Amino acid sequence: MRRSAHARKETEFLRLKRTRLGLEDFESLKVIGRGAFGEVRLVQKKDTGHVYAMKILRKADMLEKEQVGHIRAERDILVEADSLWVVKMFYSFQDKLNLYLIMEFLPGGDMMTLLMKKDTLTEEETQFYIAETVLAIDSIHQLGFIHRDIKPDNLLLDSKGHVKLSDFGLCTGLKKAHRTEFYRNLSHNLPNDFTFQNMNSKRKAETWKRNRRQLAFSTVGTPDYIAPEVFMQTGYNKLCDWWSLGVIMYEMLIGYPPFCSETPQETYKKVMNWKETLIFPPEVPISERAKDLILRFCCEWEHRIGAPGVEEIKTNPFFEGVDWEHIRERPAAISIEIKSIDDTSNFDEFPESDILKPAVSTSNHSETDYKNKDWVFINYTYKRFEGLTARGAIPSYMKAGK
Ligand code: ATP
Ligand code: MG
């Protein structure tokens, strides 16, 4: 049984390797997302007609940020293709200009877009999304991975409205906001965010939502969801993902995340200083249970909920009534309406881009420059396939936590 499964994986690997798919095998239908290093498109595979999401990462952008080393260093994840809680990855390939990831298309859109549409979520809706995300995070922890970049933009919704974690970690290390050096030489007299601090919660939420998408596209990124210990040299463990979930839960109920500020530097300071800055605005009432759980997620990792195991989280009073065994089969808190397999109505509109046009290079790198640097990406394609087929055993070098 084990043997034949192994043999099957081998053949699958060989088959995938042999297919050598390329951009010409897909038709691009629409831009559905934008990130710091490229974009995500709805595409259709020409021979089968199947619809996928294609993530395109521009090599030049990643090189220009001088962070290429991180691509592999941060590539400590995989695609556990069998998990219901993680976006399925099908193929990857590259050409001179870009890296391409072909994954399942999740028509429900992402949690960031949902939160921008609604002022706040109800406690019941929040219970549902946080509970599903608890199971999703736990599933990757059980595989030995730490996500480290849990945020609403990385929580996607499938056609029935259930949560899946988007492919993770790929660019995390590329963003300045995730690197301690970025904050190290902070001048001490940075402009204070007086204006922000003095806003009432309604205006804060408006300001947050207005700037939010820009933040998602920027190569700096946002430190809003990152646990304080991740910034410190002393190390971190999988509990950092529970902190991020606490920040998201706060945002769902209050309308903006607890440490949001006018600049990433200011946010960073607030995260590090969470004992003073994590407060609940009195004008937005939430239940004691919700407040308690947020404070159990957002505290020192030594005392954080989940330290003894995920059961501690599941049995927290905030989750009373959750059917942990069947939550994914039951109706979602907010149902998704989809008219066809390629329905993109749950996504924002993005202008067409020329990322797929054979480039008139806009940067001053010459083509040979990229060629010479291609070695940087060589392992990339390979590791993807390996991840795809390594369903049981995960090579130790791919595991997080070093
Ligand atoms: P990262 O979050 O790792 O820094 P990124 O922001 O460049 O990378 P993603 O977050 O993976 O890229 O994708 C950007 C957006 O594209 C998502 O927020 C989501 O709206 C959309 N998207 C990504 N993957 C899918 C998918 N499989 N199905 C549908 N939409 C997707
Ligand atoms: Mg993103």
pLDDT digits (tens, 9 = 90+) for 136-157: 999 988 887 888 889 999 999 9
pLDDT band at 192 (very low <50, low <70, confident <90, very high): low
pLDDT digits (tens, 9 = 90+) for 92-113: 788 888 888 888 999 999 999 9
Kindly state if the Cβ of 35 falls inside 6 Å of ligand 1. Answer: yes
pLDDT digits (tens, 9 = 90+) for 52-98: 999 998 887 776 654 444 444 333 344 444 689 988 888 878 888 88
Average pLDDT, the chain: 80
Is-contact 305 298, C-beta < 8 A? Answer: no
Q: Is 149 among the residues known to form the active site?
A: yes
In testing the pocket of ligand 1, which one of 56, 92, 101, 153 has its CB within 8 Å of the most ligand atoms?
A: 153
pLDDT band at 19 (very low <50, low <70, confident <90, very high): low
Share of the chain above pLDDT 90, in %: 50
pLDDT digits (tens, 9 = 90+) for 351-397: 888 888 765 544 554 444 444 454 444 444 433 333 333 333 333 33
Kindly state if the Cβ of 101 falls inside 6 Å of ligand 1. Answer: no
Share of the chain above pLDDT 70, in %: 73
Kindly state if the Cβ of 252 falls inside 6 Å of ligand 1. Answer: no
Q: Which atom of ligand 1 is nearest to the CA of 107?
A: 29
Kindly state if the Cβ of 87 falls inside 6 Å of ligand 1. Answer: yes
In which residue are the tokens 């939420």 written? Answer: 205
Please state which of the ranges 193-207, 299-313, 352-366, 369-383 shows the lowest mean pLDDT.
Answer: 369-383
Distance CA 239, CA 237 (A): 5
Q: Residue 1 half-sphere exposure, CB side, CA atoms within 13 Å? A: 0
Q: Which of 92-101, 110-119, 217-226 has the highest mean pLDDT?
A: 110-119
Distance CA 329, CA 293 (A): 25
Specify the pTM. 0.83
* Identified catalytic residue from 61, 76, 110, 149: 149
Q: Which of 114-123, 215-224, 356-365, 386-395 has the highest mean pLDDT?
A: 114-123
Q: Higher-confidence residue: 196 or 155?
A: 155
> What's at 296, amino acid-wise?
R
Residue 7 pLDDT: 62
Q: Identify which of 192, 191, 134, 143 has the alpha carbon closest to the alpha carbon of residue 165.
A: 134
In which residue are the tokens 């599933």 written? Answer: 139
Q: Which atom of ligand 1 is nearest to the CA of 112?
A: 18
> Token pair of 252, please?
């769902």
Burial class (CB in 10 A: 0-12, 13-18, 19+), 393: exposed
Query: How far does the centroid of ligand 2 lie from the alpha carbon of residue 172, in Å?
Result: 9
Residue 188 pLDDT: 53
In which residue are the tokens 């480039």 written? Answer: 359
> What's at 347, amino acid-wise?
F
Distance CA 400, CA 259 (A): 27
Residue 392 pLDDT: 33
In testing the pocket of ligand 1, which one of 30, 55, 70, 112 has its CB within 8 Å of the most ligand atoms?
A: 55
Q: Higher-confidence residue: 350 or 255?
A: 255
- Tell me what the mean pLDDT of segment 201-223 comes to: 86
Q: Ligand 1, atom 3: nearest CA belongs to which residue?
A: 171
Kindly state if the Cβ of 355 falls inside 6 Å of ligand 1. Answer: no
- Tell me what the mean pLDDT of segment 171-179 comes to: 59
